[in-house]
Amino acid sequence: MQTVSAHGAAIPALGFGVFRMSDEEVARVVPAALEAGFRHFDTAQIYDNEAALGTALAAAGARRDELFLTTKVWVDNYSADRFAASVDESLDKLRVDRVDLLLLHWPGNKVPIAAQIELLDAVQAAGKTRFVGVSNQNIAQLHESVARSTVPIVTDQVELHPYLSQHALAAAAKAQGVALTAYYGMADGAVPQDAVLRAIGSKYGKTAAQVGLRWLIEQGHIALSKTANPARVKENIAIFDFALDAKDMALIAGLARPDGRIVSPNGLAPAWDV
């Protein structure tokens, strides 16, 4: 599996996310994901399926030293009495002593970034995660996180797909050695149906979904894929045997639109960069 390097972290470029997946779906699809070659798995406290993921990985006999596990701390736990305890709960559910990457899930509007970073640094110093990062931060917040953290911020996990230009954020992150991790890469089902992406895919014998994932990888981003259908898992990972040319990349870039953002919950999301 190709990796993305950031401040000493070698993160598998394609991850398997379990957002909005039930325990039953996780149990059914994780063995197929492992068999297909996935080793990077992404979950979060608020997904309420960390335990299902931990159980599925253990049941499948996955070797811990071959896995890259990411989870995210929910905003309700951004306090001295809850943060570390919530991470301990996540580790218990995942059946591990530490995760590979721990993220702040949303910046929110109640706890200052400085306080969030202090809490994140403390659990990293305690050995509960190898690397730390953030999620859904804008450029100013990312700058502050990098400046205040005592350890490197390796990624900012954000919504990223052909309809949402994140060029400004990507440039700011790159300047600080921070990788972008893309979620909602299928744009809530729009990417697999897109005529432009289908036409590009036809040149390579690939689906529009594969083109969308490949587009993210070719920009140096980490892409999170997701499916609850075991039969679809092999399709999602079969994106490392072709490359998009400059014309393809330009056509896909042209799909971006001002109203392309899908995820922006009140009280959690920051003021997005234009």
Whole-number Å distance between alpha carbons of 77 and 86:
7
Among candidate residues 78, 260, 86, the one with its CA nearest the CA of residue 162? 260
User: Residue with structure tokens 């218990």?
Assistant: 92
What is the chain's alpha carbon radius of gyration, rounded to the nearest angstrom? 18
163 catalytic? Reply is: no
Run of H or E residues at 104: strand 99-104
The CA distances from residue 93 to 32, 57, 87, 265, in Å, are 21, 11, 10, 27
Whole-number Å distance between alpha carbons of 180 and 174:
8
Among candidate residues 236, 169, 245, the one with its CA nearest the CA of residue 204? 245
Per the CB < 8 A criterion, the answer to whether 223 and 185 are in contact is yes
| SS3 per residue for 130-169 | EEEEEECCCHHHHHHHHHHCCCCEEEEEEECECCECCHHH
Among candidate residues 157, 89, 82, 154, the one with its CA nearest the CA of residue 122? 82
161 is in an annotated binding site: no
Hey, which residues are catalytic here?
47
Tell me the binding residues for substrate: 105
Tell me the binding residues: 105
